[in-house]
Amino acid sequence: MWWYSDKVSTCVVLFVFAKDHMAAEKKFSAEVRDDNPYSRLMALQRMGVVDDYESIRFKSVAIIGVGGVGSVVAEMLTRCGIGKLLLFDYDKVELANMNRLFFRPEQQGMSKVEAAKQTLEGINPDTQIIPCTYNITTTDVWDTFSADLCMGGIDGRTPIDLLLCCVDNFQARLTVNLACLTYNIPWMESGVAENAVSGHIQLLLPGTSPCYECCPPLVVATGLPEAKRVGVCAASLPTTMGIIAGFLSQNTLKYLLNFGTVSEYVGYDAMNDHFPMISIKANPECRNDTCRSRQAEYAEKVAECGEAAHPLYAQRKAKADRDVKDRLAAQQKAAASAAEWGIVIETQGKDSLAVGGSNGTAEQQQSTSASNNAGGFEYAYSSKQDNDGVANATESDFVSTSEATSVSDLAARLKALK
Ligand SMILES: [Zn+2]
């Protein structure tokens, strides 16, 4: 196991629990250790990106479809130390899959979930891998599927934290949509186009954001059978799938660990490297009854507790708090930089402005300040040049600020002038 590499040796059974406990703490400690696989992940916490990285140990995620996208997402989350993964797929590994990432030729013929379990447990034995080898679209497994989602949490009694849909057909997406609406499970959908040069990810929060049927693809909306084109072999590129898997995994980490902005929809056009991001509202006239019921529930919650009703409230608040902290740190850094370069920071009064003009002296011209009555900083730049120095400042030497100028930008510009 990963943590056994720390050489906490013991052969006394009574010490095993203590050893595991010590080792687990050591793995998720802030200490930088080359033999600790979590060191670089915990650095996110030390650097203020994530407040509580270790909480990932208690998260459980279901991945539906362990193909070109799902398998890569599973590997990324496993390497990130997620607590539990439930893998759903009934397909087998084929040589035709070798143009994609993750599976190896010697795994040909194995079920995808068993092959994935083998590989993932080899990468990180701390992550619990649950293989679910059945077709979720068949009605006779609905109860099994429901139980796996509702009791698939880290403790085996509560629902999973998030579902990731990485399938290649609409029927499976509609089944996932129904299950997530029924059991109020947040999920993210993903897809890669048949020509392999575009894809997308989308966040679906039951009742809050649109469900899969609120704004369905044309094939789903018209109810036409999803017939694959005869004689057409869908293309696939490991690059496009890896990019979509990366976006999906990143959005998952942000959602689970409350950092950054959790994207509602990100598209990817590989031909032009275009990443459209859009926001879609739930459709009050959605054809799915359960979706409309969830929307009504959410509306009641909003009426009761305002913006705190939103499932992403914790993420958004954490981001806002972190932004304030970062801004304060940037201001302190700029102040320290200003002191280093002989910059005097004033805090009040536009009257103190000494912006160089045509009639100003050299000293005056080399001293410029600007104020910001909206709580910003004022800077006065004083040259450190001696009497023999070139004191003929030009317009380009002047530094001024406006309300739109950030402190860090200003500090950088001042350094460049120096
Ligand atoms: Zn809907």
The question of whether 165 is a catalytic residue gets the answer: no
Q: Phi/psi of residue 92, each to 5°?
A: -110, 155
Residue 368: predicted pLDDT: 34
Between the CA of 384 and the centroid of ligand 1 the distance, in Å, is 66
Q: Which amino acid is at 61?
A: V
Backbone angles phi, psi at 311, to 5 degrees: -60, -20
Structural domain contains residue 304: yes
Q: How far does the centroid of ligand 1 lie from the alpha carbon of residue 18, in Å?
A: 50
Q: Does residue 262 sit in the same domain as residue 205?
A: yes
Identity of the residue numbered 268 = Y
Residue 115 counted as domain residue? yes
What pLDDT does residue 209 have? 93
Distance (angstroms) between ligand 1 centre and the Cα of 214 equals 4
Both 54 and 32 in one domain: the answer is no
Average pLDDT, the chain: 79
Looking at the structure, do residues 377 and 256 belong to the same domain, yes or no? no
User: Which residues of the chain fall short of a pLDDT of 50?
Assistant: 1, 3-22, 349-403
Is residue 386 a part of any domain in this protein? yes
Instruction: State the distance from the centre of ligand 1 to the C-alpha of 182, rounded, in angstroms.
Output: 12
Residue 412's CB is within 10 A of a number of other CB atoms, namely 13
| Pair (75, 17) in one structural domain | no
229 in a structural domain: no
What is the reported pLDDT for 299? 96
Q: How far is the CA of 190 from the centre of ligand 1 (A)?
A: 17
Q: Taking Cα atoms as reference points, which of 387, 350, 394 lies closest to residue 369?
A: 350
> CA-CA distances (angstroms) from residue 211 to 38, 162, 178, 199, 206?
36, 15, 9, 18, 6
Give me the pLDDT at residue 5, please: 40
| Integer Cα distance of 171 and 13 in angstroms | 51
In a domain, 330, yes or no: no
> pLDDT tens digits for 311-354?
999 888 888 888 888 889 888 888 888 888 777 666 554 444 44
Angle of the 170-183 helix axis to the 289-305 helix axis, nearest 10: 40
**Taking phi first (over 0 means left), then psi (-120 to 50 degrees means alpha), and beta for anything else, what does residue 158 get?**
beta
- Contact residues for 169 (Cβ-Cβ < 8 A; gap 6+): 226
- Residue type at position 402: S
| Ordered strands of the 343-346 beta sheet | 343-346, 378-381, 369-370
Cα 212 to middle of ligand 1, angstroms: 6
Q: What is the distance in A from the centroid of ligand 1 to the CA of 359? A: 69
**Could you tell me if residue 109 is inside a domain?**
yes
Select from 88, 111, 86 the least CA-distant residue to 161.
86
- 265-269 and 198-204 as β-strands: parallel, antiparallel, unpaired? antiparallel
Whether residues 91 and 188 fall in one domain: yes
CATH of the domain at 211: 3.40.50.720
| Chain CA centroid to CA 211, Å | 21
For 274-311, what is each residue's pLDDT tens digit?
A: 999 988 899 999 999 999 999 999 999 999 999 999 99
Cα separation, 299 vs 281, in Å, equals 13
Residue 129 belongs to domain spanning: 50-221+234-311
Do 292 and 387 lie in one domain? The reply is no
Q: What would the pLDDT profile of 199-238 be if each residue is shown by its tens digit?
A: 999 999 999 999 999 987 766 666 655 555 555 678 889 9
| Euclidean distance between CA atoms 385 and 61, whole angstroms | 62
Catalytic residue from among 132, 180, 233, 291: 233
Q: Count up the domains in the chain and report the number.
A: 3
DSSP labels, 204-248: E-TTTS--TTTS--HHHHHT---PPPTT------HHHHHHHHHHH
Query: Domain boundary at 296, 311, 326, which?
Result: 311
What residue has token string 């996208």?
69
Report yes or no on 270 lying in a domain.
yes
- Residues 290 and 380 reside in one and the same domain: no
